[in-house]
Amino acid sequence: MNVNQLKLIHFRNYENTSFSFDSNCIHYLYGKNAQGKTNLIEAIYFLSHLHSFRTNQLSSLVMKENESLIIEAKVESNKQNEHLKVVVSHHKKHLFRFLNPVNKYSDFVGIVNAILFCPDDMMIFSQSPKFRRRFIDMELIKLSKTYTTTLSHYQKILKERNLALKQNEINDALIDIYTDQMIQDEKIILNQRNHFIEQLILKAKQIYPFFSSEKEIIDAKYETFVSIDDDLEENLIHAYQKSLAKDKLYHQTNLGIHKDDIQFLLNGSNINDVASQGQKRSFLLALKLGLAQIIYEKSHQYPILLLDDVFSELDDIRKKQLIQKLPLNMQIFITTTEWMDPSSFGSRPVKFYKIEKGSIKEVDHGR
């Protein structure tokens, strides 16, 4: 997957800027602080996810003193050319594919599959479980249509069930119907989430040692209220039967996948309790690169990798190790404040760009 052309109009500090990028090439974007490096990463991420990783406020993305923004891109996805356009105007997103309007977000999200690593991502380890669930959901939504429809159905039924539990006269038959529907959805979601984490940590375990001089062992476990085994349906039925009295007492659904979590472990302990910043960074990088591998196996193409400020705090040896570990045949964007010696990239295709005040200039590095 590659973004070959990108045009930003009134996106953050980009007034009207066109970019052309090479397929399967590392794009090394460097420049001083506050010049627009992360903004560029954010635009590609937005094209993929239809939301930003920095703000929930669509209006912050629009260049100050303007009404609307445009992100337009020519993309190569599964050897097909795509023309995508997003217009944000008056707090609304308008989507176009080959200039035809796309009405459903789910028909647009994932056409561009981009994976992001940014320093704030490390908070995934310390934040509340909601953020870890969001991480799984975001990736599975891009990977599986069944997951997307099942999850939104589950959320709808959960709301209905909670509403039914708040009535003065609780309708037991109705609660039963909702419980049954939740169980059917949860069977699908739990299996997919559990399988995803198992696969992901398997890949990450192979990658992690490249970033770590110590011999730590990393692991991850999906945590839920039932055991995920061959008797999953019975386990769910039993759990809901046991919790029904409590649900009625508290007027809410106390059990469900909306409360699940992922445990990330370093040498058997919760990573948050034992790991240094460097270890957390390496763990997260291993997860992200593992994710790229999973996407490749599933879709036969690598996602675009967005590495924002990934080099800060890494010494030169680790930087080189990271570059060597990046998969070939992958379009990669790296932002940093420092110039890097082109020889660090070995024989990999790499292009250097200087970002300054919302403009981009390719720099010839003489290789």
Ligand X SMILES: Nc1ncnc2c1ncn2[C@@H]1O[C@H](COP(=O)(O)OP(=O)(O)O)[C@@H](O)[C@H]1O
Q: Is 37 annotated as a binding residue?
A: yes
Residues in 63-102 at the binding interface with ligand X, rule: CB under 6 A = 63-64
C-beta separation of 321 from 278 below 8 A: no
What gap in Å lies between CA 23 and CA 270, rounded to an integer? 39
What gap in Å lies between CA 58 and CA 66, rounded to an integer? 13
Token pair of 357 as six digits: 């005040």
Residue 60 within binding range of ligand X, rule CB under 6 A: yes
Length, in residues, of the chain: 367
Q: Which is nearer to ligand X, 34 or 138 (CB)?
A: 34
Out of 18, 23, 34, 274, the only residue in the binding site for ligand X (CB under 6 A) is: 34
- For 235-255, give the DSSP string: HHHHHHHHHHHHHHHHTS---
Q: Is 146 annotated as a binding residue?
A: no
Reduced to 3 states, what is the DSSP secondary structure of residue 289? helix
Query: Which helix (H) or strand (E) segment is 286 a member of?
Result: helix 277-299
Residue 37 within binding range of ligand X, rule CB under 6 A: yes
Q: Residue 32 CB, nearest distance to ligand X (Å)?
A: 7
Q: Is 346 annotated as a binding residue?
A: no
31 binds, among Mg ion, ligand X, none (CB under 5 to 8 A by kind): ligand X
Residue 253 within binding range of Mg ion, rule CB under 5 A: no
Q: Which is nearer to ligand X, 34 or 249 (CB)?
A: 34
Q: Residue 182 CB, nearest distance to ligand X (Å)?
A: 41
290 binds, among ligand X, Mg ion, none (CB under 5 to 8 A by kind): none
Out of 2, 30, 35, 304, the only residue in the binding site for ligand X (CB under 6 A) is: 35
Give rounded-to-5 percent helix, strand, coil for the chain: 45, 25, 30
* Torsion sign across C-alpha atoms 131, 85, 145, 160: positive
Closest of 225, 210, 222, 229 to residue 317, by C-alpha: 210
Residue 38 within binding range of Mg ion, rule CB under 5 A: yes
Binding residues for ligand X, rule: CB under 6 A, are 12-13, 31, 33-39, 60, 62-64
Residues binding Mg ion (CB under 5 A): 37-38
Binding-site residue ranges for ATP: 31-38
